Amino acid sequence: MIELSGAEKSHPGGVRALRGVDLLVNAGELVAIVGPSGSGKSTMLHLIGTLDRPSAGTVRIAGHDAGTLPDRELSALRARHIGFVFQRFHLAAGVSALDNVADGMLYGGTPRRERRERAADALGRVGLGHRLAHRPHELSGGECQRVAVARAVAGGPSLLLADEPTGNLDSSSGQGVLAILRELNASGTTVAIITHDEEVAAAAPRRVRLRDGVIVADERSPGVTREGSTA
| pLDDT tens per residue across all 231 residues of the chain | 999 999 999 988 878 999 999 999 999 999 999 999 889 999 999 999 999 999 999 999 999 999 899 998 988 888 889 999 988 888 999 999 999 999 988 776 778 899 999 999 999 989 899 999 999 999 999 999 899 999 998 888 999 999 998 888 888 888 888 998 999 999 999 999 999 999 999 999 999 999 999 999 999 988 666 666 554
CA distance 121 to 81: 19
188: left (phi over 0), alpha (psi -120 to 50) or beta: left
How distant, in Å, are the alpha carbons of 103, 190, 214, 223 from that of 197? 31, 20, 18, 23
Q: Do the beta carbons of residue 213 and residue 16 sit within 8 Å? A: yes
Using the 8-state DSSP alphabet, how is residue 224 labeled?
Answer: B
Name residue 192's amino acid.
Answer: A
Task: Say whether 109 sits in a helix, a strand or coil.
Answer: coil
CA distance 86 to 149: 9
What is the pTM assigned to this prediction?
Answer: 0.89
* Short-list 3, 33, 41, CA closest to 212: 41
Per-residue pLDDT at 221 = 86
